[in-house]
Amino acid sequence: MTQFALFFPLLTLVVISLAGTAKVEAATGLNPPVKLVWHYYKVTNTCDDAETYIRYQVEKLYKNDSSIAPKLLRLLYSDCMVNGCDASVLLQGPNSERTAPQNRGLGGFVVIDKIKQVLESRCPGVVSCADILNLATRDAVHMAGAPSYPVFTGRRDGGALNADAVDLPSPSISVEESLAYFKSKGLDVLDMTTLLGAHSMGKTHCSHIVNRLYNFKNTGKPDPTMNTTLVSELRYLCPPRTQKGQTDPLVYLNPDSGSSNRFSNSYYSRVLSHNAVLGVDQQLIYNDDSMEITQEFDAGLEDFRKSFALAMSRMGSINVLTGKAGEIRRDCRITNANYGA
């Protein structure tokens, strides 16, 4: 079985032995330099109970709507993978990141806004929206069954980005293109294979998969790597897109978990049996390293949980603003320059 060294030095490499033969080099720590602090608001005595306030609000909201777990996961990914974890995706505006085509259907904003209101009433101008997003996501996915991984804090909030700055890739790219994208963000094949496992819950629009169902690579046929039963099931839910303005239904990324929104390793079983809904997920079996990792996670939930904890921490440290960079927004939806305007 894979042995994961789960600790947080500046940067350490471990050679992970998979299936007894293949070896994958993967990081076991945060990318240097690590500028964040464990329990930052308690250490700096600025808002001792910030993390407790956040956890309480998340637990209350999750009990009413478990879908906040996959929504916050996607929201955090969409923030961190575009210019770093600076909460710029939370900003509203006619040409903001939110409006980018890749971010259509993003949710979880209301959760962050509610938590921010609570924190502003207790510790005004102290806790960043970027930290709230990272902590709230950790707490929500923990309630869904993921490990309660460490979240280092002390992030500050960035300014607005235009929609055209969003470089999130298509869900239909090849595994080589996917790995190149993750590497461009300082992440590796283990991070990629692990983070894609977040698709064990949540939904996607039919428009992201119709090409796999009806006209894969302009062949007029479905993706040959897709289980024929799954093709039939999804065709029932996702009719061909033949006219402008046609509705774009949502389907579960992992029908095994469905509306329960439970964190599990069943995603990897689906990939191995050619039952992945998204093309980028099915592509994991076409790279030796990601294939070996997929097999390992399918065989053991605990290995996936440990790797998920590290991958989320590593993603959460991408291009963070600290010190005097950025600002601490009073309202996560607008920059301080526009606050009260």
Alpha helices by DSSP H, 45-156: 50-64, 68-80, 109-122, 129-143
Q: Which position among 55, 74, 98, 329 bears the catalytic label?
A: 74
Q: Does 327 count as an annotated binding residue?
A: no
Q: Does 169 count as an annotated binding residue?
A: yes
* Whether 31 contacts 314, CB under 8 Å: yes
Q: Does 48 count as an annotated binding residue?
A: no
Q: Does 199 count as an annotated binding residue?
A: yes
Alpha-carbon radius of gyration of the chain: 20
By C-alpha distance, which of 171, 183, 193 is closest to 103?
A: 171
* Whether 165 contacts 99, CB under 8 Å: no
Q: Does 233 count as an annotated binding residue?
A: no
Token pair, residue 292, equals 């070996």
Which residues lie below 8 Å from residue 9, measured CB to CB, with a gap of 6+?
28, 29
Q: Does 86 count as an annotated binding residue?
A: yes
CA–centroid distance for 221 within its chain: 31
- Residue 74 falls in the annotated catalytic set: yes
Q: Does 79 count as an annotated binding residue?
A: yes
Q: Does 158 count as an annotated binding residue?
A: no
Cα–Cα dist 94/161, whole Å? 11
Q: Does 59 count as an annotated binding residue?
A: no
Q: Which residues are annotated as a binding site for substrate?
A: 169
Q: Which residues are annotated as a binding site for heme b?
A: 199
Q: Which residues are annotated as a binding site?
A: 79, 82, 84, 86, 88, 97, 169, 199, 256
Q: Which residues are annotated as a binding site for Ca(2+)?
A: 79, 82, 84, 86, 88, 97, 256
Catalytic residues: 74
